[in-house]
Structure 1
Amino acid sequence: MKLTTRQLTLCAVLTALALAMSYVENFLPLSLLIPLPGVKLGLANLVTVFALYALGAGQALLILVARCTLGAMFAGNFNALLYSLLGGLAAMAAMALLRHGKGLSLYGVSMGGAAAHNCGQIAAAVITLGNGAPLCYLPVLLVVSVFTGTLTGYLSGLLFRALRHTHLMEERGMPHEKQ
């Protein structure tokens, strides 16, 4: 994939934004509202959804892999890289496929991505632990993914509406018609 300077710059800015959103999310007291281990809002996934629709799957994948890798490096936690990559890649694959489904809105694509992300992270846990015990927690995470995916879809919709008249949004046929 050959990127123009404009595309490379936009990918770098979006990667930095996703890293910042992921970092800030660590300070939100979500555990007070939802006392379940491992539950996050997934604010950085806003960038993934945006990149998927605005730039395409290739550039969105590039941003996702850079975010996961840099996030693990900055945190000094390379064990988290497996979880982050498997969850992110599963979400990206699901959203790229669901995006082309007929009658499926941005909310459906986002919820599918959230559910796939949780499946990817459970797969990472199974690999890391060497047994299937984490699979018992998957139904709980899938229920939560309905809410987190809906939130991401809603916020993405707001973003797309706010940027509707920019040349970036006109390039790929944005999802505002389907909402």
Structure 2
Amino acid sequence: MKTKRLTELAMLTAVALIIFVIELQIPNPFPIPGVKLGLANIITVYAVYHYRPGEVMLIVFVRVFLGALFGGVMSALIYSLAGSVFCLAGMLLLRKVIEEKYIWLSSVFGAVLHNIGQITAAVLVTQTAGVLAYLPFLLVSGCLAGAFTGICAQLILRRLSGKRIV
């Protein structure tokens, strides 16, 4: 990998991590574990459409690991990793059928897949199906958060390309 490309990936990872750490400071208004905006995923959505799959995986896995380390919640690492794997796999497949101008839609699907991955990990860890009760709430919040982060990514892409934002 060339130095310029590695530097770009490092910068994107750093920006995503900074956004993640800032978001940790925002109190969660919902009493449901796992519900959050996921603003760092703005970087992930962008990267899915502009970098190779291996590079995007590198960005996401480094951010997830360092985010757990910086956030002081290493026990949440398994949930974040499971969600990230589901989300990333789905979004990498979706980029072949969803054009970049509809990147927000890819973000919604990615958020929903992330929640499904988290619930899957929770069922495996707790060995109980009781956590499935959270799934409807997580799916709704995932759709809303995914739409928000996707629209943010869409606006940033338009701005970077020099197109007017209507």
Q: Which residue matches 2:106?
A: 109
CA-based RMSD of the aligned residues comes to: 1.8
2:77 is the alignment partner of 1:81: yes
- 1:29–1:77 CA distance, 2 compared to 1 (3 A): closer
Which of structure 1's runs of 4+ aligned residues deviate more than 6 A?
none
Where structure 2 has 5 or more consecutive residues not aligned to the other structure, the ranges are: none
CA distance in 2 between counterparts of 1:80 and 1:67 reads 13
CA distance in 2 between counterparts of 1:113 and 1:21 reads 18
Q: Which has the higher contact order (CA 8 A, sep 6+)?
A: 2
Alignment of 1:20-99 (within 5 A): 20-31=18-29, 34-99=30-95
- 1:133–1:91 CA distance, 2 compared to 1 (3 A): same
- DSSP-derived class of the 1:29 partner: coil
Greater displacement, 147-156 / 69-78: 69-78
What is the deviation of 1:54? 1.6
What is the deviation of 1:102? 5.2
User: Which is richer in helix?
Assistant: 2
Contact 2:24 2:71 in 1 (8 A): no
CA distance in 2 between counterparts of 1:13 and 1:77 reads 24
TM norm structure 2? 0.90
CA distance in 1 between counterparts of 2:88 and 2:74 reads 21
Q: Which residue matches 2:133?
A: 136
TM norm structure 1? 0.83
What is the deviation of 1:107? 2.0
Q: Which residue matches 2:119?
A: 122
Of the three residues 7, 15, 22, the one matched with 1:17 is 15
1:111-166 residue CA offsets vs partner (Å, 9 max, x unmatched)? 0000000011111111221111111211111111111111011000011011115x
What is the deviation of 1:75? 3.1
CA distance in 2 between counterparts of 1:135 and 1:161 reads 38
What is the deviation of 1:17? 1.0
